[in-house]
């Protein structure tokens, strides 16, 4: 699977136990805080937490533009099992 396909799966299969908000980092190193999102097979629509410097509240990205995803809420390892993650965090 390509990196683009992995990011697509991450958003399409977002677990219900995790709020649909966080921070996306793009391949251009832009940090995009979001408070919600919608998906298609090829595109990701993010609702920004706050408008950007130009006043934009929404941004559409190709999945291939996503470099990282940061979660802002406290989570447990079992929140991620639905995405295929296995193992434990050390204590």
Ordered by where they begin, the domains of the chain are 3-74 (2.30.30)
Q: Stretch 46-68: mean pLDDT, rounded?
A: 96
% of the chain exceeding 70 in pLDDT: 97
d(CA 85, CA 79): 9
Q: Would you state the pLDDT for residue 91?
A: 64
d(CA 37, CA 46): 4
Two tokens, residue 57? 């509240």
The whole-model pTM stands at 0.88
Beta strands at 22-26 and 43-48: parallel, antiparallel or unpaired = unpaired
Element (H, E) at 6: helix 3-12
d(CA 30, CA 66): 10
Q: Stretch 52-76: mean pLDDT, rounded?
A: 95
Q: Would you state the pLDDT for residue 28?
A: 95
Q: Stretch 41-51: mean pLDDT, rounded?
A: 95
- State yes or no: pLDDT of 18 exceeds 70: yes
Average pLDDT taken over every residue of the chain: 92
Nearest to 7 by CA among 75, 72, 65, 82: 65
């Amino acid at each position: 699977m390509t990196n683009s396909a992995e990011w697509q799966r991450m958003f399409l299969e977002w677990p219900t136990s995790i709020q649909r908000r966080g921070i996306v980092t793009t391949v251009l190193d832009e940090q995009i805080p979001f408070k919600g999102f919608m998906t298609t097979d090829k595109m990701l629509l993010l609702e920004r937490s706050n408008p950007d410097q130009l006043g934009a509240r929404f941004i559409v990205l190709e999945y291939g533009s996503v470099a990282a995803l940061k979660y802002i809420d406290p989570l447990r390892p079992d929140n991620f099992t639905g995405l295929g993650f296995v193992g434990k965090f050390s204590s």
